[in-house]
Amino acid sequence: MATGTRLDFSAEGETVFTVVQYIEVLNTFFKRENVRITGEVSELKRAASGHVYFTIKDKDAQGVMDCIVWSRNYDLCGVALEVGMEIILGGHPNIYPPSGRLSFVADTVELVGEGALKKAYDELRKKLEAEGVFAEERKRALPEYVSRIGVITSMKGAVIHDFMNNLGRFGFHVRGIDSRVEGQQAAKPLLAAMRRMREETEAGGAPPDRAIEALVIIRGGGSLESLQAFNNEMLVREAVDFPVPVIAGIGHDQDVPLMALAADYMTSTPTAAAHLLGRSWEEARMKTEQFSRIHIRIGEELRRIRTDLEAARSSVLDHAAELIMRAKEKLAMAEQLMRVHDPMRQLKLGYSIVWHDGMIVKSAAALARGDTLDIRLTDGSVHSKVEDVDRNE
């Protein structure tokens, strides 16, 4: 029977399956039934292909099950399996047709117990610190005015609503991808979402508005167990190598998630991440308002100066008019005085002016017999010589 062939169960008693057909039916059913089981690793082998084959058992050894983790999922889970380790597996059972053997195909592997989780966390943190993954000088600055952002989170909870409500009114274009964010099972969808964002960004966006300028990964706070996906080495390295700055707003308690330490910006809440994105825009808005207030004050000052200038101009003009009027009065008086004291006026009354040697003669004592005189009359001049001089006593 070819894979994907549909079987008719309307008459089950009449249907006869081959072994392979029936195993396929069972496996099809099993794939729909993802479950989580816990146990202790009792046997372990990693094949050359990278796939890991192991056995888990109950602590009392009453139950034993063969398990498989394909290489891609094993690398993603970030747990180095060891015999005796207590783990939780997420996946589904599967029957291998050639042997009829039932195995549990694990998609996720988690450590059990806070002590084991803390030990794995500390070891990975020490390793990444030694590589400089968390170094501040490696981290990138946000563009000054971010407008296109990518968001990876669960789109069904309060987190995304809090984030969007706090983004402000600056016209951000948000490209969101829904992803599970709870527990170790979130590692795979988170990595897939980040790689999808990476492909769109490196391709220049398709459409263009998907070429994000910053990536935000957010969720609410939680326990060390619930934040396990964010301590995944592959996700941490994906954040470090992401083509644009990464903001991690995933909450933390005592132990900061390793992704948050590796991100270019770490915020404790989604709200803080939103405020970080809007900070440059908010500062620009405040500066614009400040410049607007300064502009208003300058306008008011210019109007006051204009009013003062108009008043000064009016005052100057009034004062100048008064000065001109006074000057005219003084000129009139001077003109009158000039007319009164004009020698020609005296000459017209019968007087004359006598010069001797270019000097006006004011006294007879200044003359002697034989001196020549120039006498100015109203209608001409007379030249004469002194015959005699009579001086008054």
Are 12-112 and 146-281 in the same CATH fold?
A: no
- Write the DSSP assignment of 260-303 as a string of letters: HHHSSEE-SSHHHHHHHHHHHHHHHHHHHHHHHHHHHHHHHHHH
Nearest CA among 67, 63, 64 for reference residue 53: 67
SS3 label, residue 58: coil
| Whether residue 392 has pLDDT greater than 80 | no
CA–CA distance, 172 with 180 (Å, rounded to integer) = 24
pLDDT of residue 242: 94
CA–CA distance, 179 with 273 (Å, rounded to integer) = 18
Band (13; pLDDT cuts 50, 70, 90): low
pLDDT per residue over 170-213, tens digit each?
A: 778 889 999 988 888 888 899 999 999 998 888 765 455 558 89
pLDDT of residue 363: 80
- Chain center to CA of 167: 11
CA–CA distance, 199 with 267 (Å, rounded to integer) = 25
| Most confident of the following: 53-62, 136-145, 308-317 | 136-145
Helix (H) or strand (E) holding 101, with range, is strand 101-111
The domains of the chain are located at: 12-112, 146-281, 344-385
Q: Percent of the chain, pLDDT > 70?
A: 91
| Whether residue 143 has pLDDT greater than 60 | yes
Helix (H) or strand (E) holding 313, with range, is helix 270-340
Q: Directed axis angle between helix 270-340 and helix 158-166, to 10°? A: 10
CA–CA distance, 305 with 326 (Å, rounded to integer) = 31
Report the CATH superfamily, name and number, of domain 12-112: Nucleic acid-binding proteins (2.40.50.140)
For the chain, the distance separating the N- and C-terminal CA atoms, rounded to the nearest angstrom, is 172
Count of C-beta atoms within a 10 Å radius of residue 253: 11
Tell me the mean pLDDT in the region 24-39.
87
pLDDT per residue over 318-353, tens digit each?
A: 888 888 988 888 888 888 877 777 766 666 676 778
| Whether residue 133 has pLDDT greater than 80 | yes
pLDDT per residue over 264-297, tens digit each?
A: 999 888 888 988 898 888 887 888 888 888 888 8
Tell me the mean pLDDT in the region 125-135.
92
Tell me the mean pLDDT in the region 113-138.
87
Please answer whether residues 181 and 134 qualify as being in contact, where contact means their C-beta atoms are separated by less than 8 angstroms.
Answer: no
Please indicate whether residue 108 or residue 206 has the higher confidence score (pLDDT): 108
- For the chain, state the CA radius of gyration: 54
Beta strand 214-218 with 246-249: parallel, antiparallel or unpaired?
parallel
Report the DSSP beta bridge partners of residue 89: 37, 109
Count of C-beta atoms within a 10 Å radius of residue 1: 12
Q: Directed axis angle between helix 233-240 and helix 187-202, to 10°? A: 20
Mean pLDDT of the chain: 84
pLDDT of residue 113: 75
| Whether residue 8 has pLDDT greater than 60 | no
| Whether residue 314 has pLDDT greater than 70 | yes
pLDDT of residue 132: 92
pLDDT of residue 350: 66
| Per-residue tokens: 350 | 């019968």
pTM of the complete model: 0.63
CA–CA distance, 292 with 19 (Å, rounded to integer) = 82
Give the full edge-to-edge strand order of the sheet including 372-377: 359-360, 353-356, 372-377, 380-385
| Whether residue 357 has pLDDT greater than 60 | yes
Nearest CA among 220, 216, 215, 218 for reference residue 253: 220
pLDDT per residue over 42-97, tens digit each?
A: 888 888 988 999 988 887 767 888 999 998 888 888 788 888 888 888 889 999 89
pLDDT of residue 264: 93
pLDDT per residue over 208-252, tens digit each?
A: 555 889 999 998 777 777 788 888 899 999 999 999 999 998 876
| Per-residue tokens: 77 | 């889970």
| Per-residue tokens: 147 | 């407008």
pLDDT of residue 3: 43
pLDDT of residue 2: 39
| Whether residue 1 has pLDDT greater than 70 | no
Please answer whether residues 347 and 376 qualify as being in contact, where contact means their C-beta atoms are separated by less than 8 angstroms.
Answer: yes
pLDDT of residue 5: 44
Q: Which CATH architecture has domain 146-281?
A: 3-Layer(aba) Sandwich (3.40)
